[in-house]
Structure 1
Amino acid sequence: MTSPLADISVNALAAPLLDDLLARAAALRVGVARDARGVTIVDAGIESPGGIEAGLAVARICMGGLGQVSLRHDAASGWPTWIDVASSQPVLACLASQYAGWSLAASKEETGGKKFFALGSGPARALAGKEALFGELGYRDRCERGVIVLEVDRAPPDVVIDKLLHDCALAPERLAIVLTPTRSAAGTTQIVARVLETALHQAHELHFPLHQIVDGTASAPLPPPAADGVQAMGRTNDAILYGGRVHLTVDADDEHARRLAGTLSCTNSRDYGRGFAETFAAANYDFYKIDPALFAPAEVWVSNLRTGLTHHGGHTDLELLKRQWMSQ
């Protein structure tokens, strides 16, 4: 039987969004260049300054054209600027596209200098299908164009670009690589825009049937980026862990919906309660030593189409965020 997702191409849907980003490059303060082979390299925060609007554009690309991402001013809620995200294809948008799940690495010997590592996010992941997740989703994309987003402070070496071209089966002129350092405004913005994705990822970790998640909306406060890489990463994580709110709509048994609402929030994690940068340092900068339950939004609502009931779990802690982000 053909998958109902087979006719949806996240790369085809992202292509006009990428074209718009390229057309507005100067206005968005991003740099665009082609390497010797013809691969498009978009600099959204390394040599070019980028900005929040560029980050919003990158976030929409990351969601494979299946998500809405916007900015909202709401100082009355405790923080002035918020990212709002929504998708009526949340599994595809968040897990098959936006999730940073493709490990791309090169040794010092391969690069001829400094080793390279990045986690690739965005639609091109679905062309390569290198992650076991795609087998679980029953989804692979087929498209003659592809775009990948890397959270790095330097361009990938040739060996990594060669891998991208090979694994995605793309001609060089059909691949675009978007670079967004976490410590840039664009990088901070596009990472905070993953607030809905963290809920989908955690639901997957909790073995909730993903096909029963039919809609999702989310919001999180947008902090200013930090100059230090670890602190910048801490801020983007904390925005979701302590300020992220998610509303999922499911079509499920009500007990399962209730359980999802009660277990999805990061407030269930043993590592909850302090800034992520501090938690990361305590784990000797090893992500695998951090409780996986921490990587989830702060507050969750789950509405069930079968019963019309909505279940709630978790809570935000904006005071913790303000203590870290504001002058004392």
Structure 2
Amino acid sequence: MRLSPNQNAIGVIERLAADPVSGVTVREIGDANVYDFGVKVDGTLAGGLALAEICLGGLGRVSLVPCDGQRFVSANSIYVQTDAPLLACLGCQYAGWPVQADDYFAMGSGPARLHRGREAMLQKYDLGDSESKSAVVVLEAESFPTESTIALIAEQCGVQAKQLRVCIAPSTSIAGSAQVVARSIETALHKIDELGFDVRRIVSGTGCAPLPPPAKRGDMIGGIGRTNDAMLYGAEVTLYVNCDDEAVESIYEKIPSCSSSDYGRPFAKIFADYDHDFYKVDPMLFSPAVVTVCNLKSGRTFRAGKFLTDVLRESFLS
């Protein structure tokens, strides 16, 4: 059986659409099916978990698990597991596509990126999906895409609009918060790639991050702040690698967010200091709080990072 992240994601969508309590509705915009996970609907936890699996191209499992509320200021965490970390996380889940047409803007992720193929990350690791003529994109946005946006997405992915599935949720919705917090492994992999480690050496990964309370509807900065804080100060990732110990020793202490000069304050405050420009924030900040690397080749384990309960409390309860 051949691997197609877009077809896998369609399977997740179809199972979800058949669930009468999923909280997901569908409409047609510009001949594409658009699935609403939290724009005009409240959204659900089940929808958020499914949306995260869609982002992963069906190559990971996402679940809601209990956590230490005293330490993480939340009773729930989002747990992620994948045995195809490169393709699932950097090939599909990474929000590396700024989708913009006319006056519409959203951050795009999901397996449709493999069809588009324009990002340096995809080209570096030769990631694609030649087995599917359909495309599934996930948008983080407060409103539905326009018909011109749908046409742009379809054109850049090389598919007809009727072959396009668009899933959408804002970060201030239940589902949107869950799918963003499910990116713990992805943030670790992206950081590791930036540090010069060959991500193809990572065999499997798990990640867990506290699920913050959604910010007020329309408060995009609040939503971005809380979900980023969950990652920076409460997420823990374990990676299983197969390489020489020297390759791990050279980077493992730099992987966690505490290696950044911007570390230590709620992300909303850091973001404000940089005039709400992501590109001005230290890129080394965007990573989990704690990272453990288990080397299958040597049997050694490396661990670095720390949790910051005080910052989580300030962020989640303010």
Give the TM-score, by structure 2 length.
0.95
Shift, 1:74, TM fit: 2.5
* Amino acid corresponding to residue 50 of structure 2 in structure 1: A
Contact 1:87 1:215 in 2 (8 A): yes
**What is the root-mean-square deviation in Å for CA atoms of aligned residues?**
1.5
| Aligned with residue 48 of structure 1, among 41, 57, 67 | 41
Shift, 1:138, TM fit: 1.0
The answer on 1:9 being equivalent to 2:34 is: no
Mapped partners of 2:283, 2:61: distance in 1: 27
* Amino acid corresponding to residue 34 of structure 1 in structure 2: E
Mapped partners of 1:125, 1:235: distance in 2: 26
Residue 134 of structure 1 is matched in structure 2 by 122
The answer on 1:29 being equivalent to 2:23 is: yes
* Amino acid corresponding to residue 93 of structure 2 in structure 1: Q
1:119-152 deviation per Cα after TM superposition (whole angstroms, max 9, x unaligned) = 2100111011121211111121121222100011
Mapped partners of 1:90, 1:118: distance in 2: 24
Shift, 1:77, TM fit: 6.3
1:224-256 deviation per Cα after TM superposition (whole angstroms, max 9, x unaligned) = 101121011100000000001000111111021
1:141-172 deviation per Cα after TM superposition (whole angstroms, max 9, x unaligned) = 12122210001111112222111111222232
1:197-247 deviation per Cα after TM superposition (whole angstroms, max 9, x unaligned) = 100111111111011111110100001101121011100000000001000
Residue 201 of structure 1 is matched in structure 2 by 190
Shift, 1:7, TM fit: 4.1
Mapped partners of 2:295, 2:127: distance in 1: 25
Residue 202 of structure 2 is matched in structure 1 by 213
Mapped partners of 1:116, 1:171: distance in 2: 20
Give the TM-score, by structure 1 length.
0.92
After TM superposition, the structure 1 = structure 2 runs for residues 50-129 of structure 1, keeping only pairs within 5 Å, are: 50-75=43-68, 78=71, 79-107=74-102, 115-129=103-117
Q: Structure 1: state its 5+ residue gaps.
A: 1-5, 108-114
| Aligned with residue 319 of structure 1, among 282, 300, 310 | 310
**Residues paired across the two proteins, number:** 313
Mapped partners of 2:205, 2:166: distance in 1: 27
Shift, 1:18, TM fit: 1.2
Q: Secondary structure at the match of 1:28?
A: coil
Residue 157 of structure 1 is matched in structure 2 by 146
Mapped partners of 2:33, 2:124: distance in 1: 31
Shift, 1:45, TM fit: 0.9
Shift, 1:76, TM fit: 5.9
* Amino acid corresponding to residue 282 of structure 2 in structure 1: D
